[in-house]
Chain A
């Protein structure tokens, strides 16, 4: 596609529910990144993929968070048993190579009530 696409743009859920956030990267981009951004803060790294494999998942805060990229294109960030502290904007970015310029989507704003 023309740019990185993220869905949904907004998600409101209740504490304890399961949430999936989707990222569709720029066509041909092999590297895909997930970041989380709270108000007034810079993006905080969660995980990045090179192809289908997670090259670095050191930023996932705990085992409630999981991400997949089964075919090396679209990625899904999955959050189990959501907590109010998970509320943030989840940003996805892709790049042509692992060292290349990053291009971001508009983000998915998650609100946990």
Chain B
């Protein structure tokens, strides 16, 4: 059974720093992986989708990498800003027709 873990549960960093959020999954055979952002009391906003054949995806200051063999993905945020404060969730689709499984998220706080 696929399980998704995100550590740490919470993270505070000063504004301007580069940071990495981690996601690990127990079964390396995945179809794709998606990173989301969730603001308090809001729904989820898709950030990046990585297919199993890809190693990374980039969007602006965000870069997500995927290493299936080690069961890991990282979300790199460059030059962090207070507006980046949110919960970041990682989600894995195990197979083509499978439901998507979420981690519990990392709550990020950027200190002004």
Contact = CB atoms under 8 A, between A and B. Distances in A.
Contacts of B97: 55-56, 98
Nearest to A9: B41
B103 A107 contact: no
Interface residues of B, number: 24
Interface in B58-84: none
B86 to A, nearest CB: 14
Contacts, number: 57
Nearest to B48: A101
A106 B102 CA distance: 17
Given A55-B97, A99-B32, A42 B45 contact: no
B44 A99 contact: no
B43 A106 contact: yes
A6 B46 CA distance: 17
A91 B31 CA distance: 22
Interface in A66-80: none
Interface string A85-107: 00000010100001101111111
Contact of A33 (B42, B100, B103, B105): B100
Interface in B77-112: 89, 91, 93, 96-105
B104 A41 contact: yes
A48 B93 CA distance: 13
Contact of A43 (B42, B44, B46, B96): B44
B34 interface: yes
Given A98-B97, A99-B32, A99-B96, A42 B42 contact: no
20 contacts: A4-B43, A6-B43, A42-B89, A42-B91, A42-B102, A42-B104, A42-B105, A45-B99, A45-B100, A58-B99, A91-B43, A91-B44, A98-B96, A98-B97, A102-B100, A103-B46, A104-B36, A104-B45, A104-B46, A106-B43
Interface of A: 4, 6, 33, 35, 40-45, 48, 55-56, 58-59, 91, 93, 98-99, 101-107
Interface of B: 4, 31-32, 34, 36, 42-46, 49, 89, 91, 93, 96-105
